[in-house]
Amino acid sequence: MTTELSIVDDYPSGAAFGSDYFSRAARGMIVEMGPDGPIERPEKVVITDRELDYEGRICVGERTIRHLAHAFNMVDGWRVERVLDDNHSLRDELVDLSEKLAQASAQIQFFRDLEQKPVKAAYVSLDGREHVSKRAAMEADAKTLGVESRIVLDAVSVPISEPAPQEVPS
């Protein structure tokens, strides 16, 4: 003898009492805790192959079936709790990784901002004006000094150094 069950979205017109056979409750909503909070959905209806004389077919709502499963210890609560704990730990890890990624991205952007862009060489002539090339600055120096530009171009640059400390006679 095989029992045929059908799972549908609503009580059929031939359902005994037109509702859940055991609780006489109309179709309701199932509230489950999802990863982002409560999820609400309409309950399913199980239609059995049993018919009562003058009443109709026996139909049972999902809420009643869940209640009976818990009453008969047919639901492994520890498995559900373990899955929920795993889910929470994974979400915590996701938040930590997301924060670390945001910090790393901010640090990378900070270092990019610190990188120096290529410095344009600016040459300053004696009159204080900036020039793009060294030769142009030297030409301006020659003009300022009133000498031939070849003299300035042939001159050897000497770095400015601080004078050596002088000894004080004792």
What are the pLDDT digits (tens) for 59-72?
Answer: 999 899 888 888 87
**Total-model pTM:** 0.43
Residue 57's CB is within 10 A of a number of other CB atoms, namely 18
Please indicate whether residue 155 or residue 159 has the higher confidence score (pLDDT). Answer: 155
What are the pLDDT digits (tens) for 82-125?
Answer: 777 888 888 889 888 999 999 999 999 888 888 877 667 788 88
Cα–Cα dist 156/125, whole Å:
15
Cα–Cα dist 109/116, whole Å:
13
* Confidence class for position 2, pLDDT limits 50, 70, 90: low
